[in-house]
Amino acid sequence: MSTATKPNHIGRKIGRIRELRGMKQEALAMELGISQQSVSLMEQSETIDEDKLENVAKALGVTAEVIKNFSEESMIYNIQNNYEGSNKGANSISVSNFNCTFNPLDKLLDAHEENKKLYERLLAAEKEKISYLEKLLDKK
């Protein structure tokens, strides 16, 4: 008896591609015109008929061949070797979906500047409060 999992479990591949696309089961169900429970059952199925596979592939924005040939290893390879967004492999999901549309360092610097301004305003408010309290004490 073999304990190894079967490498060509189409349902698991569909589920993994759906997750990588950032799609929930409900969204895929709506695209296919079926219930979320049907999508869940489909993702548990080892095999799926060819017509259904074509519809699922279309809803996921890939080809049926991509689903059939999908593997985590090839996905990681494609992301690492196509980081600039060029999709050279016929059996890969478009890498452009994983590219940032902004420079994360710029966002970090912007957040730092905002924090600095906020701190300066807070400090000015505290100085104002101290000055007001000193005036009150001087009057007594």
**Residues 93, 114 within the same domain:** no
**Residues 81, 14 within the same domain:** yes
**Confidence (pLDDT) at 70:** 83
**Residues 92, 119 within the same domain:** no
* Confidence band of 94 (pLDDT split at 50, 70, 90): very low
- What total number of domains does the chain contain? 2
34-63: average pLDDT: 91
83: pLDDT strictly greater than 80: no
**Residues 89, 137 within the same domain:** no
The reply to whether 1 falls in a domain is no
The pLDDT mean for the chain works out to 81
* Confidence band of 41 (pLDDT split at 50, 70, 90): very high
CATH (domain of 28)? 1.10.260.40
**Residues 115, 93 within the same domain:** no
**Residues 24, 76 within the same domain:** yes
**Residues 55, 119 within the same domain:** no
Q: Are 65 and 54 spatial neighbours (Cβ–Cβ below 8 Å)?
A: no
